[in-house]
């Protein structure tokens, strides 16, 4: 959006996350039905919602986020029955996944029906669908009466929003309404699985882990870009959005890997040098080590023993470095197993794959 374009007035409404009041989302549903945009909470991150069957609404979503339009959107439904209206077929693997993980933080890729516009799928013949468990999200979808296309409700490139305040910062003046139901539960975007090929492929790791998928389906492939530690120009991610620089704070972020003593020593040395050069420094720390760092801002992201806590806090901590004007950020490295695969995938992207190994 250029400065000349007039800003629209954005209404913020508060809605109880557990028991949204009957009728409280009627107006929000009407806005979506009529082609407008409403940001809303889900259990993963806040989404920027529009009518997923309306090419014009999808175009507005891309414009509001400043997002390239070849990056497809996820359709959100409130009932599994709604799936048959938008997808050509439901493969066996998808049925198993839906039964086990819907409603919840899992997105499944299907072959789309004609009614889903290419404007929503970024020109692809497949469509991403998810059924969120958040009561506010479910009520909004029912009120709207259409599948809601929703990317994360951040400006393109910034960390995904986990509170309504994050959304207000990024999108106020660009969309009609923001629904505030407080902080989300999980904090990382949904796991994405493609079931359109011979074998299921994990396209984006999330709260539903590779281990959980493998346990249910066997022989799940992992899109190699997920775990790469250095971007390989020859690898093309199967989820187009995974190719973009993402989740990045404004400051330079470096992940420091190695035994904890060495990591603490290296980070403190780097911060001292940066500080002397006039930079504001920050550390993304585990609770276990937070007290050992000397930097302008030390953010405790949670315990190493509790990756759910780290996942929940990660994006808020990255945004907070921006708020505090931190220019040089050093992050501890976390274990890449289970939920750690999703945490490290987001952290590596946030760092632009900048990693330092110490001994």
Structure tokens at 204: 């984006």
**What region, left, alpha or beta, does residue 145 occupy, with left being phi > 0 and alpha being psi -120 to 50 degrees?**
left
Question: Please, which residue, 138 or 152, has the CB nearer to Mg ion?
Answer: 152
Question: Please, which residue, 130 or 348, has the CB nearer to ligand TXA?
Answer: 130
Counting other chains too, the contacts that 162-170 makes at CB distance below 8 Å and 24 or more residues apart are 162/45, 162/46, 162/187, 162/312, 162/315, 162/316, 163/46, 163/316, 164/12, 164/39, 164/41, 164/46, 166/46, 166/315, 166/316, 166/319, 167/39, 167/46, 167/48, 168/10, 168/12
Reference 132, options 10, 263, 221, 43; nearest CA is 43
Q: Is 140 in the site for ligand TXA (CB under 6 A)?
A: no
Strand stretches in 89-150, DSSP E:
106-111, 126-130, 148-149
Least distance (Å) between residue 152 CB and Mg ion = 3
Distance set, CA 320 to CA 186, 331, 332 (Å): 18, 14, 17
Least distance (Å) between residue 23 CB and Mg ion = 30
Least distance (Å) between residue 92 CB and ligand TXA = 19
Reference 115, options 147, 141, 138, 67; nearest CA is 147
Is-contact 108 172, C-beta < 8 A?
A: no
Of 253-272, binders to ligand TXA (CB under 6 A) are none
Q: Which residue is nearest to ligand TXA (CB)?
A: 241
Q: Could you say which of ligand TXA, Mg ion, none residue 345 binds, taking C-beta under 5 to 8 angstroms by partner kind?
A: none
What is the distance between the alpha carbons of residues 28 and 14, in angstroms, rounded to a whole number? Answer: 12
Structure tokens at 197: 């090929």
Of 256-295, binders to Mg ion (CB under 5 A) are none
Q: Is 151 in the site for ligand TXA (CB under 6 A)?
A: yes
Interface stretch with ligand TXA, choices 22-30, 69-77, 161-169, 270-278 (CB under 6 A): 69-77
DSSP bridge pairs for 107: 130, 192
Q: Is 152 in the site for Mg ion (CB under 5 A)?
A: yes
Q: Could you say which of Mg ion, ligand TXA, none residue 239 binds, taking C-beta under 5 to 8 angstroms by partner kind?
A: ligand TXA
Least distance (Å) between residue 1 CB and ligand TXA = 18
Interface stretch with ligand TXA, choices 146-154, 165-173, 300-308, 347-355 (CB under 6 A): 146-154
Single residue of 24, 69, 71, 221 touching ligand TXA by CB under 6 A: 71
Q: Is 286 in the site for ligand TXA (CB under 6 A)?
A: no
Least distance (Å) between residue 280 CB and Mg ion = 27
Strands 47-51 and 328-332: unpaired
Q: Could you say which of ligand TXA, Mg ion, none residue 71 binds, taking C-beta under 5 to 8 angstroms by partner kind?
A: ligand TXA
Least distance (Å) between residue 79 CB and ligand TXA = 16
Interface stretch with Mg ion, choices 31-39, 57-65, 148-156, 172-180 (CB under 5 A): 148-156
What is the distance between the alpha carbons of residues 230 and 223, in angstroms, rounded to a whole number? Answer: 14
Least distance (Å) between residue 160 CB and Mg ion = 5
Q: Is 47 in the site for ligand TXA (CB under 6 A)?
A: yes
Question: Please, which residue, 71 or 292, has the CB nearer to ligand TXA?
Answer: 71
What is the distance between the alpha carbons of residues 302 and 198, in angstroms, rounded to a whole number? Answer: 39
Give the residues lining the site for ligand TXA (CB under 6 A).
42, 44-45, 47, 71-74, 107, 109, 121, 124, 126-128, 130, 150-152, 189-190, 192, 203-204, 238-242
Give the residues lining the site for Mg ion (CB under 5 A).
152
């Amino acid at each position: 959006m250029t400065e000349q374009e007039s800003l629209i007035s954005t209404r913020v409404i508060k809605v109880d996350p557990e028991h949204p009041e009957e009728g409280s989302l009627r107006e929000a549903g009407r806005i979506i039905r009529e082609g407008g945009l409403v940001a809303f909470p889900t259990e993963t991150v806040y989404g920027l919602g529009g009518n997923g069957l309306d090419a014009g609404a999808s175009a507005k979503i891309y414009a509001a986020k400043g997002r390239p339009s070849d990056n497809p959107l996820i359709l959100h439904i409130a009932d599994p029955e709604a799936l048959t209206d938008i997808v050509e077929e439901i493969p066996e693997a998808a049925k198993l996944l839906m039964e086990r993980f819907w409603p919840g933080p899992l997105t499944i890729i299907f072959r789309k029906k004609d009614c889903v516009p290419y404007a929503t799928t970024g020109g692809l013949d497949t469509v991403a669908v998810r059924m969120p468990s958040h009561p506010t999200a479910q009520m909004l979808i029912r009120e709207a009466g259409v599948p809601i296309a929703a990317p994360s409700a951040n400006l393109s490139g910034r960390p995904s929003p986990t509170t309504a305040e994050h959304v207000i910062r990024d999108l106020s003046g660009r969309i009609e309404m923001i629904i505030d139901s407080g902080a989300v539960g999980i904090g990382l975007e949904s796991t994405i699985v493609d079931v359109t090929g011979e074998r299921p492929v994990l396209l984006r790791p999330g709260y539903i882990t590779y281990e959980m998928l493998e346990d249910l389906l066997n022989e799940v492939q992992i899109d190699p870009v997920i775990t790469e530690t250095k971007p390989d120009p020859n690898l093309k991610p199967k989820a187009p959005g995974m190719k973009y620089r993402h989740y990045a704070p404004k400051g330079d972020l470096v992940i420091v890997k190695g035994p904890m003593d060495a990591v603490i020593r290296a980070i403190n040395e780097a911060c001292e040098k940066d500080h002397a050069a006039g930079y504001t420094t920050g550390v993304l720390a585990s609770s276990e080590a937070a007290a050992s760092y000397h930097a302008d801002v030390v953010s405790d992201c949670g315990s190493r023993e509790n990756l759910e806590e780290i996942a929940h806090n990660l994006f808020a901590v990255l945004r907070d470095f921006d708020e505090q004007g931190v220019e040089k950020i050093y992050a501890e490295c976390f274990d890449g197993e289970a939920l750690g695969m999703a945490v490290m995938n987001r952290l590596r992207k946030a760092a632009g794959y900048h990693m330092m190994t110490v001994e």
